[in-house]
Amino acid sequence: MMTDPLQARLELAVQRAFQELFDAEIPLKQVSFQATRPEFEGDVTINVFPFLKQSGKGPEPTATAIGEYLVQEEPVVARFNVIKGFLNLVIAESYWTGFVAEAAARDILQFPSNGRRVMVEYSSPNTNKPLHLGHLRNNFLGHSVSRILKAAGHEVVRVQVINDRGIHICKSMVAWRKLGKGETPQSSGLKGDKLVGKYYVEFDKAFKAEVDTLVAGGMVREAAEKEAPILLEAQEMLRQWEANDPEVRALWERMNGWVYDGFNATYTRMGVEFDKLYYESNTYVLGKQDVLDGLEKGIFFRKEDGSVWVDNTAEGLDEKVLLRRDGTSVYMTQDIGTAIQRFKEFPGLAQLTYVVGNEQDYHFKTLFIILRKLGFPWAQDLHHLSYGMVDLPSGKMKSREGTVVDADDLIEEVVGEARAMGEQLSKLDDFSEQEKAALFEMIGLAALKYYLLKVDPKKRMLFDPAASIDLQGHTGPFIQYTYARIRSLLRKAEGMGTWASDQRGAWDLLPEERTVIKLLHQLPTVLHEAAHKLDPSALANHTYELVKAYNSFYQAIPVLKEESSDRRAFRLALSAAVADATKKAMWCLGINVPERM
C-alpha cells in the first residue's frame, strides 16, 4: 500500500518527535492521518489519542509538543493548532505551489513501469445471445481495471474467453437450419448476434410447443422435456460437432462468425478492447492431464465409480468432481488447464484477475485452492474481481420474462438523451453534424459508464434507467463538462505566459484554491489504491470530488480577469493540472473527455 509522499514524510517526522521528546518508539503505521475538517484551520490532522501511553501526557500537551517539534524540524509544516486530541497541521504554501507546478508539467497519474506483467480476463460471453446490461458492467469494470493497472505501472494483457461451443449454440443452429430459410445478417439487415439470438429464442418456442404436444398425447412433462425431437436434434448436433462433422462445423463457424461481427460492433461502440481471445472450443480439452497428474501425486482421489475428486473440506469448502466417471471433464477441469496454460504462455505473469459475477464466488475459491494444492507458486497471484448483479427497478433481469436490457439498445438510448440535451442547450451551432454525433456519442457513453463504475464493484446495484441517462449531478457528463470548461479557459489564455513555482509572489492561497490542490494531491494515491483493490469506483468518486471542488473555485474566483499576472498564471497552471489529471483519470475509467460541450 502506498501512502502519499507528504504523509510518508510526516510519519517519519512524527516518529522522530516521539523519539526525541518522549524517548518512545511508535510504529509508523500507527500514525493516523486524516484530512482536516473544513471547519478548522489546517490541511492534515494527526490524532494523538493512540499515543498517550507513549507520551505519558494528556492529549492536548502531547499534541502541542508534537506540533511544536514539527514546526521546528519539518519545513513543510508551517504552523499548527490543537483541538481536543487532534493536531491540525498547516502545510507550507510552497509545498502546495511546488506540487501545482509539478502537476502542470507532468502526468501525475502515470507511474513508472514496475516491470510486472498482469492479465485481466473479462467479458466471457456465450455466442447464442447478444450482450446485455450485465455484460456492460463486466466489460466496463474489466476495461477500467486494465487501464488503472496500466497507469499504476503494470504491463497489462487483456483477454476474453468466448463460450463458443456447447449445447446452447447447437440450439440456435438447429432452429436456424429448420426455420431460417437461409436468413443472413446481409439478407435481413439484422445484426449478427441478434440474428443468432433470435433463433435461440425460436428454438425455445419450438421446444415448448413440442413438449406441450407430447404432454397432450399423454406423456409425463418431465419425460417430454427430455425427449422433445428438437432437443434430441440439438444433442445429436453437439455429438456431430465433437466428431468434427464437416457440415456441422461449417454451419457453426458461419453462425459464430455472424455473432462475432455483432459483438465487435458493440465492443467498438463501447470502446472496449482485448489483446487476446480464447475460444472455449480450443480450451475445453485442457486440464484433464493436469488433474490426472494431481491424482497420481495423491492431491486428488478417485471414487469407486471412477470419477476423480478434490477434497476441500479442510478449507471449509466441499468435495468437488474434476473428472466424470466416463473420464470427461467439467468446467472446473477446463479452468484449471486454462490457468496453467496462461502461466506457461506468459512466463513470470505477476497477477491474473478474473472479472466474473459474484454468483461464481464458490467456483473461484475452489479453483484457487486446487491450483495451490497442485503446487503452483503463482496460485497466490490469482484474483477474482467478484462484482454484484445489476438489478432493475422491477427486480432481477430474466430472459424468460423478457426483462433483459440489451446493450445496443441501452447505448442508443443514452446517446439519444445526450443529443436531446445537447440540442436543447444549443452551444454547438458551429459543429458539423458529424462532430455533433461524435460528441453526443462520447457524452452518452460517459453517462452510462460512469453510472456503472461509480458503485463499489463488489456490491449489487440498481440500474435505474432514468438515472442512468442523467447528465447532471454526480455523473460522467458533469466531469466532462468541467474538463471542457477548463479547456475553453486555457484556449482563451493562450499567450498569457506560463507559470513556474519559483515565480510565486508573496500571496496566500485562497481556501478554494487550497481545496482543489489538496484533492488533486491525493489523486495519485487514490489511483494506486484503486489498482491495489481492483476498484474503479474509488477513482471515479475522487475524480468527482476534484471537479466539484474545481467548479466551486471556478464560480467564485476569477482566473483570466485576475489582475495580478502571477496569480493569474498560477490559477491557469492549477486549472491545466486539474484538466490533465481529470482527462487521465477518466481515461482510466474508459471514458473520453471533449474539448467543448
Partner RNA sequence: GACCCCGUAGCUCAGUUGGAUAGAGCAUCUGCCUUCUAAGCAGAUGGUCACUGGUUCGAAUCCAGUCGGGGUCGCCA
Give, as ranges, the residues between 476 and 515 that touch RNA (CB under 7 A): 477-478, 481, 484-485, 487-489, 492
CB of 555 to RNA, least distance (A): 4
Of the candidates 301, 462, 498, 500, which one interacts with RNA according to CB under 7 A?
462
- Least distance CB 504 / RNA (angstroms): 20
Of the chain, the end-to-end C-alpha distance in Å amounts to 38
User: Which residue is it, cell 476423480?
Assistant: 308
Among 57, 177, 194, 363, binds RNA (CB under 7 A): 363
Answer yes or no whether residue 201 interacts with RNA by CB under 7 A. no
| Residues 6+ away with beta carbon under 8 Å from 45 | 33, 34, 35, 36, 37, 86, 87, 88, 89
- Residue 561 in contact with RNA, rule: CB under 7 A: yes
Among residues 174, 559, 574, 585, the one that binds RNA under rule CB under 7 A: 559
Binding string, residues 432-461; x marks residues near RNA by CB under 7 A? -------x---x----------xxx-xxxx
| Binding of RNA by 371 (CB under 7 A) | no
Max Cα distance, the chain (Å): 95
Q: Which stretch binds RNA (CB under 7 A): 112-120, 173-181, 263-271, 357-365?
A: 357-365
Nearest approach, Cβ of residue 154 and RNA (Å)? 22
Contact yes or no for 351/119 (Cβ under 8 A): yes
Contact flag: residue 303 with RNA (CB under 7 A): yes
Report if residue 551 touches RNA, rule: CB under 7 A. yes
| Least spacing, CB of residue 112 vs RNA, in Å | 25
Supply 83's cell numbers. 483541538
What is the rounded distance in angstroms from the CA atom of residue 144 to the CA atom of residue 487?
Answer: 24
Q: Binding of RNA at residue 427 (CB under 7 A)?
A: yes
SS3 label, residue 391: strand
Q: How far apart are CA 401 and CA 566, in angstroms?
A: 64
Position among 57, 117, 324, 383 found at the interface with RNA (CB under 7 A): 324
Q: Which is nearer to RNA, 115 or 558 (CB)?
A: 558
Angle between helices 93-105 and 511-533 (to 10 degrees): 60
How far apart are the C-alpha atoms of 135 and 421, rounded to whole Å? 27
Q: Could you say whether residue 282 binds RNA (CB under 7 A)?
A: no
Q: Which is nearer to RNA, 156 or 526 (CB)?
A: 526
Contacts to RNA from residues 215-254, by CB under 7 A? none
Window contacting RNA (CB under 7 A); options: 27-35, 142-150, 195-203, 286-294: 27-35
**Cα 547 to Cα 74: distance, rounded to the nearest angstrom:** 31
Q: Which of residues 107-136 bind RNA (CB under 7 A)?
A: 126
Candidate ranges 64-72, 134-142, 195-203, 354-362; the one touching RNA (CB under 7 A): 354-362
DSSP string, 172-219: HHHHHHHH-TT--HHHH---HHHHHHHHHHHHHHHHHHHHHHHHHTT-
Under a CB-based contact definition with an 8 Å cutoff, are residues 95 and 76 in contact? yes
